[in-house]
Amino acid sequence: MTLRQHSLAVASAVVAAVSIALAASPAATADPPGCVPLNGTQLDAHASETNSLGIFYDLDVTYWYQDGAVNYQKNVNGPFGTHSNGAVPAAPGNTATIPGNLGTPLLVTVCSK
């Protein structure tokens, strides 16, 4: 085998290996449904809860992604309603935890693209 034939054989093997590796690599994953868009679009969540004293509350949360964080505004409607807002740092593709007032915190995933 000449040097040229050897070089062509090695080049062909490299091209074949790269092609196989690309074919075997996982496809890009899609963002989960309901993820927080990076463009600042506001999303809403709503819950109704009754506390241990039997008092009924409505909880409304509006949240959006801006400046590296999930920003939120919470309104608790009931006899002792509160209004609060804040921001939870989160990178694209990660999950942010919006703290809960009456119960479970709200977990939201920021879209990756």
Let me know: does 37 contact 110? Beta carbons within 8 Å: no
Residue 14, domain member (yes or no): no
Domain annotation covers residue 62: yes
Q: DSSP state, 99? A: P
Residue 69: φ, ψ to 5°? -150, 155
pTM: 0.68
Q: Does any domain span residue 63?
A: yes
Per the structure block, which two tokens stand in for 14?
């490299």
Amino acid at 8: L
Range of the domain at 99: 43-109
- The answer to whether residue 72 is domain-embedded is yes
Does any domain span residue 51? yes
Tokens for 85, please give them: 């807002």
Decide if 25 is inside a domain.
no
The reply to whether 90 falls in a domain is yes
For residues 64 and 39, give the distance between their C-alpha atoms in angstroms, rounded to a whole number: 9
Domain for residue 89, yes or no? yes
Question: How many structural domains does the chain have?
Answer: 1
Q: Residue-wise pLDDT tens for the chain (113 aa)?
A: 554 444 444 445 444 444 454 455 455 578 888 899 999 999 999 988 887 888 888 889 999 999 999 999 999 888 778 889 999 999 999 999 998 766 678 999 999 98
